[in-house]
Amino acid sequence: MEGSVLADGVGPVRLLQVLKSSASQLNPPAFYHGDGDGNSVASCGSEVLSRYGTLDAPPHHDFYTNTEVWGRRRRFRPSLYELYTNPENNGQPPVYEETMGEDRGGDNSSDDCDDEPKEAPTEPTRFGWVQGVMIRCMLNIWGVILYLRLPWITAQAGIGLTWVIILLSSFITGITGLSTSAIATNGKVKGGGTYFLISRSLGPELGGSIGLIFAFANAVAVAMHTVGFAETVTDLMSESGAVMVDRTNDIRIIGVITVTCLLGISMAGMAWESKAQVLFFIVIMVSFASYIVGTIIPASPQKQAKGFFSYKADIFAANFVPGWRGSDGSFFGMFSIFFPSATGILAGANISGDLKNPTVAIPRGTLMAIFWTTFSYLIISATIGSCVVRDASGALNDTMLSTSGDDCVGLACRYGWDFSECINNGTCAYGLINHYQTMSMVSAFSPLISAGIFGATLSSALACLVSAPKVFQCLCKDKLYPLIGFFGKGYGKNNEPLRGYLLTYVIAACFILIAELNTIAPIISNFFLCSYSLINFSCFHASITNSPGWRPSFRFYSKWLSLLGALCCVVIMFLLTWWAALIAFGVVFFLLGYTLYKKPDVNWGSSVQAGSYNMALNHCVNLNQIQDHVKNYRPQCLVLTGPPSHRPALVDLVHSFTKGLSLMMCCNVVSVGSSSGATQEATSEGHVVWLNQRKVRSFYRGVVAPELRSGVNMLLQGTGLGRIRPNVLMMGFKKDWRRDPPQAAHDYIGIMHDAFDLQFGVCLLRMKEGLDTSTPQSHSEKSFSHIITVNTEVHDGKLHSIPCVIFPKTVFQKKQGKKTIDIYWLSDDGGLTLLLPYLLTRRKRWSRCKVRVFVGGDADKKEEQRAEVMALIKKFRLGFKDVEVLTDIYQSPQSVTHTHIHSHIHTNKPTHLCFICEFQSLRQIRLNEVLQEFSRDAALIVITMPVARRGRCPTTLFMAWLDFLSRDLRAPVLLVRGNQENVLTFYCQ
């Protein structure tokens, strides 16, 4: 209704006019540009509809990406500060405001939306799932083993066990393919292949070690496939009577020449390499067709002399059972030789950075490649075993017509051939178990098989030659290990790792010199099995942690199947070659230990982090079912540091006895109101960064409160998780209590009383030079920024804060040598006064210090009291052997000291302290004299802190007690008061 009035007396029509008139007063932030499509709340060149409107933006792809799109400006989500700040206030956000990694501001204006690069960047070559993954994986699987060793393995193991070997290999690679598919679809996959998948799932520790091993295994695989090619060429040359040196050296020469040519193709770029792979695939398909046709057509006498008789049921039956021969004649011996032929399943994943859509291409292409290659292996082993006998001489005159049939040995006798002589002498040159080129002999046109061997071996070698540098390049860029960054540099539009190609070439050339295929193949089996084991374990671990971030779009996997695959890989590694398995795991653990020691500055949201959270949470919950016991007491400290960087000495002391032992929590109370700046100051990540850079194992907690005491009370009651909660309050001594108003001292002592009420122990640290290293300024926010002002660096597309101020070492970070730790155990507080120094002596820098325990006593019972204290300390098993009984601590202080302090108080006292001279405790003055006498050169003085009765002893008087007790001492003084509950026991239960 036009005439209706809103609650504030403004009609709708008038309100609309106000909104329209104010639209021109506000412009969107310069960083909040869009495409100009009008879909954003504040798109480029548009004006905000109302000064009362919101800057909230609808969801957009740009808000979540780390990359730019050519041709348009990238959008940015407005920060929380920008959403609730007053648009008329042009003030900049605080220095600790969390912002995006890219530059939002600057001189950008609305006109900048029309600015575009003059030329689009060159788009690198990208491949689909067929050409990029399936064909590449099939070519890598159809390698030298298929043509040159599968017939021999069939003869050794028989068709039945050969199928078991093939299916077992495919079972392992199939499970690994499912695990790879799950990991690869759990987010955008960049370059780096297997290393990228494992490192981003299990973290840099295991990822880095497997990255090195897998890259090395691929480099050796280049040598294996190249040797297979060279072996075929050498055999063809020998048939023609051409020999360069001898068979072994010919293989070496041809192999090195071949890998050099492959290096040239690889360095020409991925486009050339991909075209070569397609050509090789066509050649292999033609060779398969020639082989299948050859098994069907009738056998010629020449082929029969070499053992081929076409399909025969009795040949299939004879070759179905094993016929082990030689040193390699065993199931696992054959498996170790065959398994490398199934290891090409990661050829597509290894070039993940060159795929159009890795999350679709890797699962589809990998699984299809595993299925078709497994099917082809089963068919070839069954057909070759059904057509060719194990032994044949190759001589045309070895027929039944020239010999007596009664003495004929072997299955060929049924088909009119007698190979008895070579069988008995072991000199048969042909047959399934003797002739590696059996498939070529069976084929309808043998040169096509030779071409297929060339295509399979060269394509596999080329794929490995590309995979190894790609994986190694990603590892180098992550800077997990020293001295390898040189190989991480990329060249060209595809960022080709040319230096990595050269390194792979050198490694491959070295292994080519072995020139023996059966020796090279088992070497890489363990490395590939180790990689597959960790891929499966990565999938299992990511699934079992139930992390919300584990959301693979590929659903056809099972975490328990992945675990089974990982265990099978480990077991097979040791069954194949136990010493090689130990070497592989030794390398993994060595690199793992190095990475754990160096702690690289990377954070990939790994499943190890998720698992750590789960373990911590479960343990914390389980602790609730266990009652506290004095034997398990740990001093868990809530440290009032303010910003931790302001009081490094306090932080370092507490860390000395809590590191790796108990909880430490640095706390900061910001009492400047509940403004945005105060909240940011209390919760800034810069404090945690400072603690991490100082290698302090501590949590940080900041709160905003109207005043200090209420904020500390919040921390005392609210910090911790279950039984993992503080039980000791650690503070710095308030040196300026005389200059502050009486309320300040009252609040300070009130904090101690609040802690005692909540059953906390309380410790105060006093140092002669003071604790606060910050520069006081008029405004707390300025003071904060002076110390915590941060530099920034961009890493993984995110902005990281780094404190620009690192304070020098404090006295608690230095080696204390053979100084003393003096404990003045003047009152029994439950044993905390003894426990804290004992924990200090367990640290390396304090271990050489001598601990002296001072107690009060009577002169006439000095030795008796000393013996009692020594016996008690011995029962506590603390190892303190120096106990001193002080018999003069109850005497009056020296007149000089008394006069000096009396004069100091009356000279500097404010009005409200006049009564202190009447009520001061002469005992605290006397104790200070004793400390000056006995502990002048101590490394640390620990004193049981006196406790004043609340309501009876004025807070200023109690502050004077603490001041007189600890003043003018060169050594740091730690005043300790437990909560009067035992923290030490000499009982076993």
Q: DSSP string spanning 349-399?
A: GGGGGGBS-HHHHHHHHHHHHHHHHHHHHHHHHHHHHHHB-S-B---TT-B
pLDDT at 191: 66
Average per-residue pLDDT in the chain? 78
Look at 153 and 616; give whichever has higher pLDDT. Answer: 153
CA 786 → CA 61, 149, 527, 674, distances in Å? 37, 72, 53, 21
Identity of the residue numbered 206: L
pLDDT at 183 over 80: yes
Query: Measured between alpha carbons, how far is 484 from 419 in angstroms, rounded to an integer?
Result: 58
Percent of the chain residues topping a pLDDT of 70: 79
Q: Confidence band (pLDDT; 50, 70, 90) for 122?
A: low
For 618-639, letters b (16+ CB in 10 Å) and e give eeeeeeeeeeeeeeebbbbbbb
* Alpha helices (H) in 685-808, listed in sequence order: 686-693, 708-718, 742-757, 780-788
Whole-number pLDDT of residue 121:
56
Long-range contacts, 516-519 (Cβ 8 Å, 24+) = 516/227, 517/144, 517/148, 517/149, 517/224, 517/227, 517/228, 517/231, 518/149, 518/328, 518/337
* Lowest-confidence pick of 30-44, 236-250, 756-770, 896-910: 30-44
What is the predicted pLDDT for the residue at 262?
A: 87
Q: Which of 97, 83, 81 is nearest to 42 (CA)?
A: 83
**Is the four-CA dihedral 725, 728, 732, 736 of positive or negative sign?**
positive
Q: Which residue has the higher pLDDT, 493 or 906?
A: 493
Mean pLDDT value across residues 110-135: 62
pLDDT exceeds 80 at position 425: yes
CB 530 within 8 A of CB 584: yes
We find that the CATH architecture of domain 819-988 is: 3-Layer(aba) Sandwich (3.40)
Strands in 820-824's sheet, in edge-to-edge order, are 699-704, 664-670, 637-640, 728-732, 761-766, 973-977, 940-944, 820-824, 850-856, 882-886
Q: How confident is residue 111, by pLDDT bands cut at 50, 70 and 90?
A: very low
Stretch 72-93: mean pLDDT, rounded? 61
Residue 971: what pLDDT?
A: 92
* Residues whose CB is less than 8 angstroms from the CB of residue 921 and which lie 6 or more positions away in sequence, other chains included: 961, 964
Instruction: State residue 69's pLDDT score.
Output: 61
What's the helix, strand, coil split of the chain in %, to 5? 55, 10, 35
Q: What confidence tens digit (pLDDT) does each residue in 464-515 have? A: 888 888 888 888 888 888 888 888 888 877 778 888 889 999 999 998 988 8
Strand partners, 355: 127
Residue 971 carries which DSSP code?
S
pLDDT at residue number 68: 64
Q: Which of 377-391, 649-663, 890-904 has the lowest mean pLDDT?
A: 890-904
CA angle 845, 846, 851 (to 5 degrees): 165
pLDDT of residue 908: 45
Is a pLDDT exceeding 50 seen at residue 776?
Answer: no
User: Tell me, what's the pLDDT at 523?
Assistant: 76
Output the pLDDT for position 270.
Answer: 66
CATH 1.20.1740.10 fits 129-280+312-392+463-598, yes or no: yes
Strands 728-732 and 761-766, bridge-based pairing:
parallel
Q: At residue 417, does pLDDT exceed 70?
A: yes
Inform me whether the pLDDT recorded for 841 exceeds 60: yes
- One-letter amino acid at 986 equals F
How do residues 649-686 score in pLDDT, each as one tens digit?
Answer: 999 999 998 887 889 999 999 876 545 567 777 778 88
Residue 233 has pLDDT above 50, yes or no: yes
**Cβ neighbours of residue 946 closer than 8 Å, sequence gap 6 or more:** 827, 924, 961, 962, 965, 977
- The predicted pLDDT at position 457 comes to 81
Give residue 125's pLDDT: 63
**For 282-323, what is each residue's pLDDT tens digit?**
988 999 999 999 999 988 888 888 889 989 999 999 999 998
Spatial neighbors of 241 by CB under 8 A, at least 6 apart, are: none
Residues 13, 987: Cα–Cα separation, whole Å: 84
At 828 the three-state DSSP class reads coil
Nearest one of 97, 138, 83, 108 to 33, comparing CA atoms: 108
**Which of residues 175 and 130 earns the better pLDDT score?**
175
Among 214-228, 371-385, 421-435, 444-458, top mean pLDDT goes to 371-385
Neighbours of 933 (CB within 10 A): 10
Closest residue by Cα to residue 793 from 601, 965, 942: 601
Output the pLDDT for position 142.
84
Question: Which region among 548-557, 599-608, 652-661, 954-963 has the lowest average model confidence (pLDDT)?
Answer: 599-608
Tell whether the model's pLDDT for residue 326 goes beyond 90: no
State residue 652's pLDDT score: 92
pLDDT in tens, 513-535: 888 877 787 777 788 888 888 88
Domain spans of the chain, in order of start: 129-280+312-392+463-598, 393-429, 819-988
pLDDT confidence band for 553 (50 / 70 / 90): confident
pLDDT in tens, 958-974: 888 898 889 889 999 99
Look at residue 821 and tell me whether its pLDDT is greater than 70.
Answer: yes
